[in-house]
Chain A
């Protein structure tokens, strides 16, 4: 039957394109809640760094960007920005920006950055369709794309304004895997080369590329172990590894790592292994079985001995890098807490609580095992890959909250496969009486209901949980009115406009990128937590008594100290609640000066009021937060976060209030100059008052 003059095949093709288009629109649309609720603004912390570097790239060009030494970060150390970042996202945005400007569309770079992740989510949906089509058929592809478009696990990292590496990296992850599976199936060097290109883009975009460079070799090894060596596999992997590794080394941040770090050794080993196996297959085709057995035995001993020697030599010369802490914490969840507080202090590095899986994946979480089951039933080369991907991604997602992100694509694909199988079974045309169709209709109806509820759940999660910029907060009044709480930007903009551009601002590292991006002022520490000692020093300043802190702050040329304080509003993510982490990190470096147990009172409580321990009451952070707070709240007032009485008196001599925001959420203090007569500020104040 022809419609619009198209054959049935063309009709379905057109229909598929339309469906994919609709999926893309839904994917983009559901990520715009944050813009509608708030505004087109960069979210959270790391995106502010990406945004700032993108602006630098756009305004100064690629050459300068590559060689940028940012002296305003990590004062006085500075940061070699060009060599310590993944430039993929910045280059992508700058390319889009320049293309639009070439067409005379004067779009703001901020808007390019804000809408980059939603735009790429549409591409991710299309790549997921291709992956689903690769492993099953078009139906599975479309279902997988539809799931991918709205799955909250992915939306959490790609709403408008969430300008982070993951925004484009998930697309590249899916694209690379699709191209890999295609290369393995077809066995063409061309496909593998394109896959290597996509891998290169991925390396330039996100540190998570390590997942790819371990998963693909693992796929190869498992296929070899299953005795499934083929020339297609050999061509695909050899091409991919050679090109991909060479390309990845062009990124300065990666550099020569693929040749010596432990994360990349699996890929190198698999490359060697497949050469050996290929050689063995080549030989076996040309000799008798007995000769072959001798050959294999000799070769195995030789190769093993050679490898062991090389490994020993390299380890002894220190050429093979030890495993990094973040990597350890992937295997042992208690490792970080004990050894590296700075990693453990980040909430997204915590192990996942099980409701999170349901929260982020909803019905997909039980369609996922069904998909694995169907994969086992077919078990082609591609399906082996899917199973491996599921197992590893599921494990990692259980260890670290933020790795649910890498699990989401495979869950969507396998759920697509599962649902497509159900459709196949229940939607095939089979003649029969009307009564026989009733169970079918019931099952399809139930499935449809589940899919609808998934969409419903996703939209709801997106709008309630994942669309807050965290720079701007919102609250609802008792009459349902919408209030915007904008204290962060108030403080940052005050700093930007009313302090000198060279003046240094000290704050806890969480606010470093925002200070650089919004206040445009030099900071001591920021979210690129590369120097633990420096961070510990800031922690020590916060935890020391006022005079020690003043001395340290002056020695570090600090002009302003910024603290975040939630007691007025009940904002629980404030510095007093983060204080224990500051103390722990400081203690790790300065065990003689800062001790965690000093900050608990005799009853063992983490108190802030008059019952607080001496160290707590005298610490700089405590003073800066509660200074004169009681005067405005009244004598009987409570801290609304900690539900404790406020301290009755807080004195401050060496620092003076420079600005406090509307809701007291951000307080900025100026570090006083030294007294003209060399007295301490406390003595000077006493002298002045008498």
Chain B
């Protein structure tokens, strides 16, 4: 019999992988107590806060770092991980460990994040930490299909035992929701209190797996931006910063069992609720101008914009976009909108040195309200999660020494050349890509610094002037040239009658 080399290799590889993880984690720590609070009150973002007490049980050596595991099943929905000291509130530095090479189909590895203690943890010492994780779009509607005006019921599903890198003595999970709890897993350790459910406490190594779920009602809107692209165009000539946002949006609500136009008309007339998202609100700066909304087949003419508004000392305008059709559960809509703002509000100039500071991302709020005018406070709600995000910043032609700074880790930052409007040498486009944008990124800013000289500013007019002049010169030359052998006969003279 021939040895099955492939199976052998896989076995070897997985064995290696297993030894790899055990090696990577420094031993000597235990978690004495952990409380995980899962906040389902601002869906589609799910916030998990894990309060954990970490103790160094070694005899002599101080420990500098500690490892947090994110299960592979949730890893691709993870938006953010932060670790704080509970007492001082100081943030610990967290870095993602690269264990891609250990992944095999047979043994999917959890994602490792390594946090560094502010001071090394001395033997016998305990410390309380808060680990905050944000996940997007992990909650699915159950049932998947409801009536047009039916309630939306959602299912949260996870393991009540967390995946730890170190031994755990005691842990418990609390799930907080915003609506009535329809059902939850009836295990020994579960209990319900109003809108929250507790699983645990679990002691030590007993019941290593405890898959649990909670079904709850939440009729608020939830949308997913499957792709979102924000583009900035910098124009020094017109002191103009043009912003363009492309969206591919999906309503996460349960799907319709059957579309019913009569019922839809009636509920609009009665101002009764239904699951259609009818308006999309976009907050734009108060000095925004030249706004437009377009999709692949033309203008979306049903949109409007409010006058300048003020809320908590923040001045802005709100674009009320009406999609071509109201978005029922699981329906998609794709469009782009744009506007201009004065560049000088975003650009610092120091001789040739320019610093452009712009928001990392813009937010959008979906509303199922039947009202024509949506209340102003709705603009600060979070209900649209961005799964794939791309930021493009197009700098003017001639910008050099481009440097980009984003206040948190992103998946990729690159620069590529591009030519627009009569460019002769092309310009630089900064492209930032990021998957699963955390809700807190709305307040973040990107800083792009670049050098741009006076000569670059005049480059384009000079090139165009030269080309036009050259064309005139050529035409002039051409008209003075005698191409035929004989002198040109005057055509009109030959006109026969």
Contact = CB atoms under 8 A, between A and B. Distances in A.
Interface string B483-497: 000000001001111
A490 B261 contact: no
Contacts of B421: 104-106
A489 B260 CA distance: 20
A39 B301 contact: yes
Interface stretch (A59-67, A274-282, A340-348, A657-665): A657-665
* Interface of B: prevailing SS: loop
Contact of B334 (A497, A658, A659): A497
Interface string A648-662: 000000001111110
A105 B497 CA distance: 49
Contacts of A492: 297
Contacts of A657: 258-261
A231 interface: no
Contacts of B265: 632
27 contacts: A39-B299, A41-B299, A103-B422, A104-B420, A104-B423, A105-B421, A105-B422, A185-B494, A185-B495, A185-B496, A186-B491, A186-B494, A380-B496, A381-B496, A486-B324, A493-B295, A493-B296, A493-B297, A496-B296, A632-B265, A632-B266, A656-B258, A657-B260, A659-B325, A660-B261, A661-B325, A664-B261
Contacts of B333: 497
A185 B495 CA distance: 7
- Residue from B262, B334, B421 with most neighbouring chain A CB atoms (10 Å): B262
Interface of A: 39-41, 103-106, 185-186, 378, 380-381, 472, 484, 486, 489-490, 492-494, 496-498, 517-518, 628, 631-632, 656-661, 664
A104 B43 CA distance: 44
Nearest to A185: B496
Contact of A39 (B261, B298, B497): B298
B304 interface: no
B329 to A, nearest CB: 11
B302 interface: yes
Contacts of A103: 422
Given A489-B324, A493-B324, A494-B324, 7 more contacts: A378-B497, A484-B302, A490-B324, A490-B325, A496-B296, A497-B334, A498-B332
Nearest to B301: A484
Contacts of A517: 297
A146 B421 CA distance: 34
Interface in B305-338: 324-325, 331-334
Nearest to A39: B299
Nearest to A669: B259
A104 B419 contact: yes
A497 B296 CA distance: 11
B250 to A, nearest CB: 10
Interface string B26-67: 000000000000000000000000000000000000000000
Q: Which 8 residue pairs of A and B lie closest in terms of their CB atoms, listed nearest first? A: A660-B261, A104-B419, A39-B299, A484-B301, A497-B332, A41-B298, A490-B324, A631-B262
Contact of A628 (B262, B302, B494): B262
A658 B260 CA distance: 8
A496 B494 CA distance: 62
Contacts of A486: 301-302, 324
Among A104, A105, A472, which residue has the most Cβ atoms of chain B within 10 A?
A104
A496 B324 CA distance: 12
Interface of B: 258-262, 265-266, 295-299, 301-302, 324-325, 331-334, 419-423, 491, 494-497
B221 to A, nearest CB: 18
A632 B268 CA distance: 12
Contact of A494 (B325, B420, B495): B325
B324 A628 contact: no
A656 B256 CA distance: 13
A632 B334 contact: no
Given A104-B422, A497-B332, A489 B261 contact: no
Contacts of B332: 497-498
A472 B491 CA distance: 50
B420 A489 contact: no
A484 B324 CA distance: 12
B312 to A, nearest CB: 35
Contacts of B302: 484, 486
Nearest to A133: B492
B259 A660 contact: yes
Nearest to B292: A39
Nearest to A182: B491
Contact of B297 (A381, A489, A632, A661): A489
B261 to A, nearest CB: 4
Contacts of B419: 104
Contacts of B495: 185
A106 B265 CA distance: 43
A54 B266 CA distance: 43
A129 to B, nearest CB: 14
Nearest to A628: B262
Contacts of A656: 258
A597 B295 CA distance: 45
Nearest to A137: B492
Contacts of B494: 185-186
Contacts of A378: 497
Contacts of A658: 259
Contacts of A664: 261
